Structure 1
Amino acid sequence: MITLRVAAQILVVPILAVGMSACGDQTEDYCGSLKGHQKELTNTLGEGGTSSLIAALPIFEDLERNAPDDIEKDWKTLTGAISGLSKALEAADVGADDFDGGKPPKGVSDAETKKIADAATKVSSKKTQKASVRVQQQARDVCHTSLTL
């Protein structure tokens, strides 16, 4: 079973290297949105771990809404995976930081634990990782600004 920390690290590390700036048309709006979220995203993801990944979800959702057609599907993959993990944790009434060494806190049922583990696995899946890489590449290639976290 993949731990929440591993799932977050697999996704956050590449996102931390994302590049951003200003571009043209729908792309210009997207690049502007990336740049507008730059500081907040840096602060949120800079804390590390699954909790910061979930805390960044509203930013990711906004970027998805502003994404050009060619990258929108990848944003949907990212936000869908993170949202699924957030919902699984919320349904079990626990936070990502409540897990000790990958073990759920007392009171979390086996069914809830399985849903959380499945959601964490989706966050760290190859499909989600590939979407993350494509989103980052798009930001670097099209928006031409580097975000250092």
Structure 2
Amino acid sequence: MTSLRMAVQLLVVPMLATTLTACGDPIDDYCETLKGHQAELTKTLGEGDTSGLIAALPVFEDLERNAPEDIRKDWKTLTTAISGLNVALEEAGVSAADFEHGEPPEGVSEAEAKKIADAATQVSGTKTQEASVRVQQQARDVCHTSLTL
């Protein structure tokens, strides 16, 4: 699925080269959480495929829980989109790695394939991408964290 690849490229790639530093007093816990997950995110997302994105979901959910109020909604947008894709894949009994050249594996019904495609579109959609940009900007501005490649 092209949407799956696009979702990974648009959402994950900017997060790969994250270099986390200490944050200011108001959100030390959030910044420490970011720092604590740095190595795991780099490893998980480094594969550059949708499986890595889904594997990183628990980390994203932890960051959402620890996020300051002003950015929590954006983390929620990200985790909801990724979770939706994960659920669609699980319900079809497949993983993102099972797709070859964007085609679902044998045994996936048309309805399941549509649900997966719709969920992948959510991940790569404008709303999710805008949330990703805001999360990255927050990390740079508040935690003095570079999210550039």
TM-score range, shorter chain: over 0.9
The one-letter code matched in structure 2 to 1:136 is Q
Compute the displacement of 1:22 (Å). 2.3
18-27 or 65-74: bigger deviation: 18-27
Letter matched to residue 129 of structure 1: Q
TM-score of the superposed pair, with normalisation by structure 2: 0.93
Q: What one-letter code is carried by the residue in structure 2 that aligns with 1:132?
A: S
The question of 1:105 aligning with 2:105 is answered yes
Offset at 1:144? 1.1
Contact residue 89 and residue 116 of structure 2 kept, 8 A: yes
Alpha-carbon shift at residue 8 of structure 1 (Å): 1.5
How far off its partner does 1:6 sit? Answer: 1.9
Identity %: 74
User: Does the 8 Å contact 1:21/1:34 carry over to 2?
Assistant: no
Identify the residue that residue 22 of structure 2 maps to in structure 1. Answer: 22
Match of residue 121 from structure 1? 121
CA pair 26-84 structure 1, distance change in 2 beyond 3 A: farther
| Stretches (4+) displaced over 6 A | none
Shift of the 68–19 alpha-carbon distance from structure 1 to 2, 3 Å rule, reads farther
Q: Is the 8 A contact 1:74 1:131 kept in 2?
A: yes
How many pairs were matched up? 149
Question: Partner of 1:3: helix, strand, or coil?
Answer: helix
Correspondence list, 1:1-149, <5 A: 2-18=2-18, 20-25=20-25, 27-146=27-146
Deviation, structure 1 residue 11: 1.2
AA aligned opposite 1:139: A
Amino acid at match of 1:90: E
Aligned-residue offset at 1:19: 5.0
- Note if contact 1:19-1:140 (Cα within 8 Å) is conserved in structure 2: no
Aligned partners of 2:3 and 2:25: how far apart in 1? 41
Distance 1:105 1:7 in 2: 20
Q: 2:18–2:38: 8 Å Cα contact kept in structure 1?
A: no
CA distance in 2, matches of 1:148, 1:126: 20
RMSD of aligned C-alpha atoms? 1.7
Cα deviation, 1:73-116, whole Å, max 9, x if unaligned, reads 00000000000000000000000011111110000001100100
Contact 1:18 1:140 in 2 (8 A): no
